[in-house]
Amino acid sequence: MSRNLFLFSFILFLVSFVFVTQSRAATITVSSDSDTLSSDAIYTVHVALNINTGNDTVYYLRGVFFKPNTSSYCGYTWNGDTWFAGPYSTDSGWKKFLPITITDNGWEGELKTKIDASSTGCKDSGAYNFKIQRFTSSGSGSFDEQNVQTVSVVIPTALPSPTNSPTPTRIPTPTKIPTPTKEPTPTKMQTPTKTNSTPSISPSTIVTKTVSNLLTSATTTQGASLSGMPTAILGANAILSKHNTQSLKNKKVLGTSVKQGNILSSIFLFIGALLFIACGILVYLRKKKRE
C-alpha cells in the first residue's frame, strides 16, 4: 500500500512539473527583410511571441548581435523613446528595453535594433547572428526557442591619422632698402639788376647853386654892391656856359656810359670849374676892395 502511494505521488509530481513547464515555455518567431547591415543602419525584425501566461503580463525584449559560436552579445534596442544597450543587470536596467504586454498568450510586433560597433565583440565586419532575449519584470532573462537570423555587417575601417607634414621653413622677407632722399635742386639765384644808385644831378644846377651861394656870401661879407661886377659875372657865366655846353656835348657823346659810372667824373670836372670860378670871384672882390 505504501509503495503504491509513493508511486502515485511521483507520477503526479511529474505530471505537474510537465504542466507547469509547458505553461511557462515560449517560442519566438523572427523574420527580417534585410540580410546586410551597415554599422549605423537600423535593423528591423518582425517578432511573434507565443507563451502560456495570463493577460497583461509584461515582458521586455532585447535584440542582440553576436559572432557565430560566441556569446559576446552587443547592440542597441529602441524602447520607444531612446536607444538602449545597458547596463541592464542593476537598477532595473532591463526595464529600459522594449516593453510588451501579453494578450491571449502572445504578442506580435516590430523590434528595432542597431549594432554597437564600439563594443569589443562587434567591432569587425563580417557575418553576425541575431536573436531576441526576453526579460521578466523581476529581471530574469532567457533566450526562448527561436529561429536565429544571419546578417552581414559592414563596419568601415578607421582611417589612420595623417602624418603631420613638416612645417616648411619660413623664408625671411628681405629688408626693404630705403629709397635715398632726393636732394632738392638749388634754386637759381636771379642776377640782381644793377641799379644806378647815384642820383642824376645836372652839373649846371650844381654850378649855378654854388655860384649863387658864393655871390650871396661875398655880398654879405663885403657889404658892397655888386653893380661893378658885371664883367666878372659875365666872364664867369661865359665860362659856365662854355662848360655847360661842353658837358652837354660830352653827355650826348658818352650816352649810356655816363649813366653807368662816368657821372662822378663829370661832377669832379665841374667842381674844378666851380673852384676856378670861385677863385676868380674872390680875386675880383679883393681887387675891388683895394680900390
Q: Could you give the C-alpha distances from 208 to 13, 74, 235, 267, in angstroms and in order?
A: 184, 146, 14, 13
CB 281 within 8 A of CB 210: no
pLDDT attached to residue 226: 40
CB 181 within 8 A of CB 64: no
Domain for residue 29, yes or no? yes
Which of 37, 36, 109, 52 has its CA nearest to residue 79?
109
- Give start and end residues of each alpha helix (H) in the chain: 2-24, 203-222, 230-254, 256-257, 263-290
Domain boundaries, position 61: 24-154
Which of 77, 79, 75 has its CA nearest to residue 65?
75
pLDDT attached to residue 65: 97
Q: Are residues 129 and 214 in the same domain?
A: no
What is the separation, in whole angstroms, between the first and last Cα of the chain? 226
Which of 125, 153, 144, 120 has its CA nearest to residue 62?
144
Q: What is the DSSP letter of 71?
A: -
pLDDT attached to residue 280: 85
pLDDT attached to residue 242: 57
Task: Provide the whole-model pTM.
Answer: 0.49
Q: Which element (helix H / strand E) includes 206?
A: helix 203-222
How many Cβ atoms from other residues are within 10 Å of residue 52's Cβ? 14
Q: Look at residues 93, 124, 154 and tell me which one is the last residue of a structural domain.
A: 154
Domain for residue 35, yes or no? yes
Torsion angle of alpha carbons 220, 221, 225, 228, nearest 10°? Answer: -130
Q: Are residues 212 and 150 in the same domain?
A: no
Q: Are residues 149 and 210 in the same domain?
A: no
d(CA 26, CA 49): 7
Q: Are residues 38 and 139 in the same domain?
A: yes
Which of 202, 201, 200, 284 has its CA nearest to residue 240?
202
d(CA 65, CA 113): 9
pLDDT attached to residue 56: 96
Q: Are residues 208 and 145 in the same domain?
A: no
Q: Are residues 150 and 219 in the same domain?
A: no
Q: Are residues 207 and 270 in the same domain?
A: yes
Domain for residue 193, yes or no? no
Q: How many domains does the chain have?
A: 2
pLDDT attached to residue 83: 97
Q: Look at residues 124, 154, 184 and tell me which one is the last residue of a structural domain.
A: 154
Q: Are residues 139 and 58 in the same domain?
A: yes
Q: Which residues contact 266 (CB under 8 A, 6 or more apart)?
A: 203, 247, 250, 251, 258
Domain for residue 248, yes or no? yes
3-class secondary structure, 30: strand
pLDDT attached to residue 223: 45
Domain for residue 198, yes or no? no
pLDDT attached to residue 191: 59
Domain for residue 211, yes or no? yes
pLDDT attached to residue 188: 63
Which of 136, 130, 139 has its CA nearest to residue 46?
130
3-class secondary structure, 194: coil
Q: Look at residues 115, 130, 154 and tell me which one is the last residue of a structural domain.
A: 154
d(CA 27, CA 45): 15
pLDDT attached to residue 133: 97
CATH code of 109's domain:
2.60.40.3880
3-class secondary structure, 149: strand
Domain for residue 127, yes or no? yes
Domain for residue 189, yes or no? no
d(CA 95, CA 136): 9
C-alpha cell at 208: 649855378
Q: What is the DSSP letter of 68?
A: T
pLDDT attached to residue 146: 96
Q: Which element (helix H / strand E) includes 235?
A: helix 230-254
pLDDT attached to residue 261: 58
Each residue's pLDDT tens digit in the chain (291 positions)?
555 555 555 554 453 443 344 445 899 999 999 899 998 899 999 999 999 999 999 999 999 999 999 999 999 999 999 999 989 989 999 999 999 999 999 999 999 999 999 998 899 999 999 999 999 999 999 999 999 999 999 988 765 555 665 666 677 676 676 676 666 666 666 655 555 545 555 555 554 565 566 555 544 544 444 444 444 444 544 544 555 556 555 555 445 554 555 677 778 888 888 888 888 888 888 888 776
